[in-house]
Amino acid sequence: MKNEKIYILIPTYNRAQLLLETLESVRNQTYSFWECIIVDDHSSDDTVEQVRKYSERDKRFSCFLRAEDYCKGPSGSRNMALDIAKERKAQFIQFFDDDDLMHPKKLELQVTLFVKDTDLELSICRYERFSSSAKMVPIDHIELINTISLAEDFLFTRLRLNVGGPLFRAKLFEDERFDESLQYGEEKELFLRILFRYRPKSLVLNQTLFYYRAHEVSLTRIMNSRILKRGSEIVIHQKIWDYLAENDLLNNQAAGFLIRQFLLENHSKEYINKANRYISKESNFSFFSKLRFRVLIGFHEIYSRIIYKLLLIKI
């Protein structure tokens, strides 16, 4: 494993001081064979200057300005970092945010799993939120959890994957990139594509190995964030349906979940029609399951018409 380098990819924007804390947590890793690629999204503070000074102390860190070929935002910066890592023939990819912290043993414990199992393609760890200082607990043993249906578990939110948790084999990103049109949840959308497409062999480390910084925000920002998050979730479900359907990856578990989202939260006539066609022609749902979904879709159509009529009534 000493010849297989981990590439740590960090997008950043106006986070000079917090980013230095993050980089220090990377520098303190017990596993030392890594490179850290930082892509700055044209910060207006002194982020680039601070990072370049830091990289002079440790040549494993390198800083780039986001090129105009990539959209503004973390997705564009991450895609640029992925392309740089690909040019450098990366074997492993570790995404990380510019304000979070790594446990000193994060890379060592996760990469060791790949040493023990050369077929492994993905290792996952737990994470904790912190606001001021992270309390990093020493790890004396490794507790593993086997995953059976990781793609479905992640789609159904039975398992949470924060962007800084997984360590990936780089080959999983050979043809997949972040969707730069998404303003929120872009990592979820990409991870779902990869999990359903490749069904990677994975293991979960039942230890906290990175720390997610919680920022103080105003009530207005919280409300705006919730609206953005909800809208993005709707778009992500639509994109995942299309991706799975176009690549013949849509199974009944995923379809059933997405149909329920379309009926209960999305209400897009286009996607309800797509779901109806899937139920009628492409699925192997049981007779009673097909009947149940058709009844629900029928009730949804009636309900939508009633609401539409009521909204036209003059008050």
If we measure between CA atoms, which residue out of 198, 175, 192, 284 comes closest to residue 238? 192
Strand 61-65 and strand 6-12: pairing? unpaired
**Are 105 and 156 in a shared domain?**
yes
Please name every residue paired with 127 in a beta bridge, in sequence order, or none if there are none.
210
Whether residue 245 lies inside any domain: the answer is yes
Q: What is the DSSP letter of 265?
A: I
**Are 272 and 186 in a shared domain?**
no
**Are 144 and 233 in a shared domain?**
no
Asked if 247 and 198 count as a contact pair (C-beta separation under 8 A), the reply is no
- pLDDT the model gives residue 223: 56
Domain boundary among 167, 190, 213: 213
- pLDDT the model gives residue 228: 76
Rounded CA-CA distance 253/255 in Å is 5
**Are 31 and 129 in a shared domain?**
yes
Q: What is the CATH number of the domain that holds 16?
A: 3.90.550.10
**Are 114 and 68 in a shared domain?**
yes
Dump pLDDT digits (tens) for 19-40: 999 999 999 999 999 999 999 9
DSSP H helical segments within 167-286, as ranges?
Answer: 186-198, 219-246, 252-261, 269-277
**Are 171 and 228 in a shared domain?**
no
Least confident of 51-60, 235-244, 300-309: 300-309
Total domains present in the chain:
2
Q: What is the DSSP letter of 166?
A: -
- CB 79: neighbour CB atoms within 10 A? 25
- CB 199: neighbour CB atoms within 10 A? 13
Domain boundary among 152, 185, 213: 213
Dump pLDDT digits (tens) for 276-303: 999 988 778 888 888 888 888 888 888 7
Whether residue 14 lies inside any domain: the answer is yes
Whether residue 257 lies inside any domain: the answer is yes
* Element counts in the chain: helices (H) and strands (E): 10, 9
**Are 199 and 232 in a shared domain?**
no
Instruction: List C-alpha distances in Å: 273 to 168, 259, 287, 302.
Output: 36, 10, 19, 14
Residue 49 pLDDT greater than 80, yes or no: yes
Whether residue 281 lies inside any domain: the answer is yes
**Are 68 and 196 in a shared domain?**
yes
Cβ density class 268-286: b for 16+ within 10 Å, e for less:
eeebbebbbebbeeebebe
**Are 209 and 238 in a shared domain?**
no
Dump pLDDT digits (tens) for 58-85: 999 999 999 999 999 999 999 999 999 9
Domain boundary among 171, 191, 213: 213
Element (H, E) at 52: helix 47-57
**Are 161 and 275 in a shared domain?**
no
pTM of the model: 0.91
Residue numbers of the domain that contains 279 = 219-311
Whether residue 45 lies inside any domain: the answer is yes
Per-residue pLDDT band for 224 (boundaries 50, 70, 90) equals: low
**Are 86 and 151 in a shared domain?**
yes
- pLDDT the model gives residue 299: 84
**Are 150 and 256 in a shared domain?**
no
Per-residue pLDDT band for 214 (boundaries 50, 70, 90) equals: confident
Element (H, E) at 5: none
Whether residue 1 lies inside any domain: the answer is no
Whether residue 175 lies inside any domain: the answer is yes
Q: What share of the chain is helix, strand, coil (3-state, %, to 5)?
A: 50, 15, 35
Residue 143, helix vs strand vs coil: coil
- The alpha-carbon radius of gyration of the chain (Å, integer) is 22
Whether residue 42 lies inside any domain: the answer is yes
Residue 221 pLDDT greater than 60, yes or no: no
Q: Give the position of tokens 């492993």.
A: 92
- pLDDT the model gives residue 222: 57
How many percent of the chain have pLDDT more than 70? 94
Residue 63, helix vs strand vs coil: strand
